Structure 1
Amino acid sequence: MDGAWVYLVTGGCGFVGERIVELLSRQDYIKEVRVFDSVAREEVEKFSTAATRVTVTRGDVGEPGALLAALRGVHVVLHTAALLDYRDTVPFGAMRAVNVGGTENVLRACCVLSIPHLLYTSSIAAVGPNTSCEPLLRGNEDTQYSGEVELPYGKTKAMAEKMVLEANGKKLSNGGTLRTCILRPNTIYGEKATFLQELYLLARARDGVLNYLEPEDTERNLTYVGNVAWMHVLAARQLQLQPDLLAGQVYYCYDDTPSTKAVLVRYQLLSSADPSLRLGSHIPYWKMWLMIQLHRLIRVILPPSWRPQPFLSVALLNTIVTSFSFQTDKASRHFGYKPLFTWQESRLRTARWLKAAAGSLGPPQLHEKKN
């Protein structure tokens, strides 16, 4: 059936989803890539090729009927759609409805329509840091780490992960079996990365000085968006070809981006776009914690129409200052993953985008539908 497969990407108009769609459209074994997204940017259809058609449907994963209609005739689902919020701008119930309820709807639709393969995009936030801010240094997929997850977003991704793993092996309506696996990205950078936009705007507003919150020895992984997308493409294909190996597995996303000091990697990315930027000083934890509490008090005092949006939460602050990194080659061993882009290529591509966008960058969004 090579050349006749139909893939569907939920959230395919998002930051990561769009890159996944672009790479899927170049695979000669795929006939059609469907995009199901509440944003539904039709320009994603430009990725259509002579062999592979890309179609976009506007819809929400919270709407079971719309999902069923979009998924009919699909062979593989890549479920990347999620509501990403790190700053308490979205009620937890609303985030859970999308990230957990939406995942439940996708799984149910796969069973009803007998779609045998589902790849779920999770996050390292589903693992930690925990509320005790215990560090994890260069762990892997088998490393034991316990405790309550700190970030509300991470809580919803952990709930969804549990559902996806429990769904692996479920019977489909045609008597077949559902096979699922999970990818866990960490911080993803690259073209259209909103956090880089924000950091760049902040540095420019401070005369080119990039201050930072984490201690200088804080270790965290960053991965280029093109490599995260490429891992999705390979994992989805191998889930079809080697379901007994990949089904029920979890894989961290990685590439050769340095992971020793997170602040230095961010500085390299931004200074590649603007060499005039300078690395500033460390902002003490206590000072930022007090600023967050003061901001909360102001929001309580001011009338609703004047209340500023939260700029940072304590949960996010705790996550930023806690080392949480992994080191693994599991994706390479299981399905032959190798980064499509080197660190130098990733950095230069990101820098070119930032340079081109510098004149038109506006205030970043505090939450987004992704991936």
Structure 2
Amino acid sequence: MDGDWVYLVTGGCGFVGERIVELLSQQDYIKEVRVFDSVARKEVEKYSTGTENVLRACCALSIPYLLYTSSIAAVGPNTSCEPLLRGDEDTEYSGEVELPYGKTKAMAEKIVLEANGKKLSNGGTLRTCILRANTVYGEKAAFLLELFLLTRASHGALNYLEPEHTERNHTYVGNVAWMHVLAARSLQLEPELLAGQVYYCYDDTPSRKGLLVRLQLLSSADPSVRLGSHIPYWKMWLMIQLHRVIRAMLAPFWKPQPFLNVPLLNTIVTSFSFETDKAARHFGYKPLFTWEESRLRTAEWLKAAAGSPAPPQLREKMN
């Protein structure tokens, strides 16, 4: 019944989770929004296999709907660094996923989809659905703030790793959160359509070229930002190996900050993009924020966050 629903957001203190909580709290069909996050409750950290625990709890407590936040990294790139150009949710792509993060997301997706249709303790049925985010930008995006500070330290030159033809989607955090709100509601209203389905997150961010999106976002915050130099793959690969050697040699005395690794480098330089309208067709999704709004909101936050010597979001990430 509308007005009686209680929603639980696991990871609700995170970058995307915080925006999901904000939007859910504005919906009149929801009675209560609860947040479960290791940031808020440190004892949560002792549970090592989070998705399995959540599914177990759903079955034991007769919670009929679960929407899982995954990532395009669950699909690829694979260890052969094969590109995926403008695929959709039905595009076949095989091979072992390159990044450890992607491997864990793929494992979680598998158990979430296998749990769809399981019996609950009250005799009901569990319905599950998956949303795959990609590169999410917006207010409080730590990676974007780090890049902005680095670019300003380089006198406004935005240097980059990926070849200019590389394609990768970007989506504004507010629209990713809005898609979660709509998908969760539709999973309740039309479980026969959404249960067992996977959806990519998308909006009208205008370019598949991630480099150009980052340039527009940073230059909106600081007009002096310009496209810098391309860093060749071989040069970055050598830097990674050198950092590994230095880290090993100095480990007893000094631990340098984490550095880029080869799997992540391979992912950055590999085209991996999609093109879909499945969410619009299945549950009427339309971006809540236009590209112009998304760009301006992000730029204003970047300017404010970079105005202090050590922005809180960056300090939290580094610690």
TM superposition score normalised by structure 1: 0.83
Structure 1 residues 38-81: Cα deviation after superposition (integer angstroms, max 9, x where no partner): 112xxxxxxxxxxxxxxxx6652754xxxxxxxxxxxxxxxxxx
Tell me the amino acid that sits aligned with residue 24 of structure 2: L
Equivalents in 1 of 2:104, 2:281: separation in Å? 29
Asked if structure 2 preserves the Cα contact closer than 8 Å seen for 1:62 and 1:102, the reply is no
2:44 is paired with a residue whose SS is: coil
Superposition RMSD on alpha carbons, in Å?
1.6
Distance 2:266 2:291 in 1: 28
Contact 1:62 1:105 in 2 (8 A): no
Count how many residue pairs are aligned between Structure 1 and Structure 2: 317
CA distance in 2 between counterparts of 1:272 and 1:283 reads 23
2:248 corresponds to: 300
Q: Deviations over 1:211-245 (max 9, x none)?
A: 00000010000000000000000000000000000
- Whether 2:138 is the aligned partner of 1:190: answer yes
User: Is the deviation greater in 28-37 or in 353-362?
Assistant: 353-362
2:127 is the counterpart of 1:179: yes
Separation in 1 of the partners of 2:105 and 2:318? 15
Q: State whether structure 2 residue 114 is matched by structure 1 residue 166.
A: yes
Unaligned runs of 5+ in 2: none
1:264 aligns with 2:237: no
Aligned mates of 2:309, 2:259 — CA distance in 1: 18
In the aligned structure 1, how far is the partner of 2:137 from the partner of 2:33? 24
Is the CA contact (8 Å cut-off) linking 1:7 and 1:33 kept in structure 2? Answer: yes
Per-residue CA distance 1:135-156 (angstroms, 9 max, x = gap): 0000000000000100000000
Task: Summarize the Cα distance change of 1:367–1:151 in structure 2 as closer, same or farther, 3 Å threshold.
Answer: farther
My pick for the range that moved more, 251-260 or 166-175, is: 251-260
Q: CA deviation at 1:278?
A: 1.5
Taking structure 1 as reference, are residues 106 and 297 closer, same or farther at Cα in structure 2, changes over 3 Å only? same
Contact kept, 8 Å, 1:295 with 1:310, in 2: the verdict is no
- Residue equivalent to 1:320: 268
Task: Describe how 1:38-49 pairs up with structure 2 within 5 A.
Answer: 38-40=38-40
> 1:288 offset after TM fit, Å?
0.2
1:280 is the counterpart of 2:228: yes
Match for 1:5: what amino acid?
W
Equivalent residue, structure 2, for 1:74:
none
Give 1:12's aligned residue. Answer: 12
Are residues 253 and 282 of structure 1, via their aligned partners in 2, closer, same or farther at CA, if it must alter by over 3 Å? same
Structure 1 distance, partners of 2:194, 2:176, is: 17
**Counterpart AA for 1:128:** G
Query: Per-residue CA shift, 1:126-171, capped at 9, x if unaligned?
Result: 0000010000000000000000100000000000000000000000
Cα deviation code 1:96-142 (max 9, x no counterpart): x3xxx110000000000000000000000000000100000000000
* Aligned position for 1:68: none
Report what 1:156 is aligned to: 104
Secondary structure (helix, strand or coil) at the match of 1:34 reads strand
Aligned to 1:122: 70
2:44 to 22, 47, 60: 60
For residue 361 of structure 1, report the CA deviation from its aligned partner.
5.6
Residue matched to 1:207: 155
- Aligned AA for 2:73? A
Which position in structure 1 is the counterpart of 2:197? 249
Q: Any conservation in 2 of the 1:271–1:277 contact (CA below 8 Å)?
A: yes
Partner of 2:92: 144
TM-score scaled by length of structure 2: 0.96
Alpha-carbon shift at residue 208 of structure 1 (Å): 1.3
* Aligned counterparts of 1:361 and 1:232: Cα–Cα separation in 2: 34
1:212 partner letter: Y
Q: Determine the structure 2 residue equivalent to 1:107.
A: 55
* C-alpha separation in 1, matches of 2:130 and 2:316: 26
Secondary structure at the counterpart of residue 81 of structure 2? coil
The code of the aligned residue for 2:152 comes to R
Cα distance change of structure 1 residues 187 and 368 upon mapping to structure 2, 3 Å threshold: farther
Give, in whole Å, the separation in 2 of the partners of 1:191 and 1:19.
10
CA separation of 1:365 and 1:356: change in aligned 2, threshold 3 A: closer
Q: Secondary structure at the match of 1:235?
A: helix
| Cα 1:361/1:326, change in 2 over 3 Å | farther
Is 1:227–1:341's contact at 8 Å kept on the other side of the alignment?
A: yes
Shift of 1:277: 1.0
Q: Do the aligned partners of residues 279 and 343 (structure 1) sit closer, same or farther apart at CA in structure 2, a change above 3 Å counting?
A: same
Summarize deviations over 1:236-276 as a string: whole Å, max 9, x none.
00000000000000000000002331111100000000001
Matched, 1:309 2:309: no
> What is the SS of the residue equivalent to 1:161?
helix
2:37 aligned with 1:37: yes
Post-superposition shift, 1:352? 0.5
Aligned counterparts of 1:325 and 1:365: Cα–Cα separation in 2: 31
The answer to whether the 8 Å contact 2:162/2:268 transfers is yes
